[in-house]
Amino acid sequence: MDRRLVGRDFLTLADFTAEELTYLLDVADRLKADPLGTRSLVGKNLALLFEKPSMRTRVSFEVGMNQLGGHAIVLSPEQVQLGKRESICDVARVLSRYVDGIMVRTFAHTIVEELAEYADVPVINGLTDLLHPCQVLADLMTIREKKGRLAGIKLTYLGDGNNMANSLMLGGAIMGLAVTIATAPGCEPPAEISTRAEQLAAEYGGSVRIVHDPVAAVRGADVLYTDVWASMGQEAEAELKRAALRPYQLNSELVALAAPDCLVMHCLPAHYGEEITAEVGWGVHSVIYDQAENRLHAQKAILHELLG
């Protein structure tokens, strides 16, 4: 086994080279082909720290650890109360004495960075307000599986400039995709992310642009991606976002303008009738359940390489 990723954190795709991400995707493909054939984590334990709800992330990490021969321990928000019951530093140092890795889903991205700073074991970002790198690794796996390549794929994301848009820009830029974010004025991704994504695109041959016209953005796209208009923790902005983002709904009219063999993607959970219609979400172009399945395989690759 190649040992180059052992001990690394998985906080943002921007910490990885195209070669390293390709390597993880290759491992993920191999694990998918033989789900019970690798028992590299026998005797190893992973803590799953949740400060927000989850279905896919929780189940896929837990099943992934089991399939690799290890074990996962789920910790709810009430149990840990990161930074309230005790400091992030103490949580990181104590957990490092028990477990071989920490997966965390939380609010501020600085929380996972602080955990990683003090933990002696790899920390994996299972979603922050800023980024969702595990999801995008699974999405890149899904696109490569369906299209046979990543470089040059035209991916248009419609909707809120949120954690998904951010990680898609970073991961897409590194893997050579042409990423377009179509969003309403005021809902754009933060400049720190778009600037970093532009730098990565220049380095790796991808491209990133942020536009406001949904119709022009979807023309000829190979992949159409969307996500909820109000992310977890941002429910107070839901009404405003609903009004602003209505023209960016992924519906049949927009799908008709994309490439005839385009993929429709959504990280789920979806709010059908808002950011995507049920007709499109469950339609012939949709690969949403393949994405959800690939969370398992992509995360097993991360666990196998970082904790193995």
Q: How far apart are CA 17 and CA 22, in angstroms?
A: 8
C-beta of residue 29 within 8 angstroms of C-beta of residue 265: no
Q: Which of these segments, 103-111, 148-156, 161-169, 293-301, binds ligand NVA (CB under 6 A)?
A: 161-169
Based on the shown chain and the rule CB under 6 A, indicate whether residue 162 belongs to the binding site for ligand NVA. Answer: yes
Its sign, for the CA torsion 110, 111, 112, 116, is positive
Q: Which of these segments, 13-21, 24-32, 73-81, 225-233, binds ligand NVA (CB under 6 A)?
A: 225-233
Q: How far apart are CA 186 and CA 159, in angstroms?
A: 11
Composition of the chain by helix, strand, coil, percent to 5: 45, 15, 35
Q: Which of these segments, 12-20, 53-61, 140-148, 235-243, binds ligand CP (CB under 6 A)?
A: 53-61
- Which of 56, 67, 109, 132 is flagged as catalytic? 132
Based on the shown chain and the rule CB under 6 A, indicate whether residue 59 belongs to the binding site for ligand NVA. Answer: no
Known catalytic membership, residue 267 = yes
**Which 239-278 positions form the footprint of ligand CP (CB under 6 A)?**
267-268
Based on the shown chain and the rule CB under 6 A, indicate whether residue 267 belongs to the binding site for ligand NVA. Answer: yes
Known catalytic membership, residue 105 = yes
Q: Which residues contact 33 (CB under 8 A, 6 or more apart)?
A: none
Known catalytic membership, residue 132 = yes
Known catalytic membership, residue 29 = no
Residue 164 binding result from ligand CP, ligand NVA, none, given CB thresholds of 5 to 8 Å by partner type = ligand NVA
Question: Which residue in 52, 47, 51 sits closest to 62, CA to CA?
Answer: 47
Give the DSSP per-residue string, 38-95: --TTTT-EEEEEESS--SHHHHHHHHHHHHTT-EEEEE-HHHH-BTTTB-HHHHHHHH
- Which of 267, 291, 299, 304 is flagged as catalytic? 267
Longest dimension (CA), the chain: 54
User: Which residue is nearest to ligand CP, using beta carbons?
Assistant: 57
| CB 231 to ligand CP: min, Å | 10
Q: How far apart are CA 82 and CA 69, in angstroms?
A: 28
- Which of 67, 135, 291, 299 is flagged as catalytic? 135
C-beta of residue 221 within 8 angstroms of C-beta of residue 259: yes
Among 44, 56, 285, 300, binds ligand CP (CB under 6 A): 56
**Which 107-166 positions form the footprint of ligand CP (CB under 6 A)?**
127, 135
Residue 207 binding result from ligand CP, ligand NVA, none, given CB thresholds of 5 to 8 Å by partner type = none
Q: Which residues contact 211 (CB under 8 A, 6 or more apart)?
A: 180, 181, 182, 217
> In this complex, which beta carbon is closest to ligand NVA, that of residue 107 or of residue 282?
107
| Residues recognised as catalytic | 105, 132, 135, 227, 267, 295
The residues binding ligand NVA (CB under 6 A) are 127, 132, 162-164, 227-228, 231-232, 267
Binding residues (CB under 6 A) for ligand CP: these are: 54-57, 127, 135, 267-268
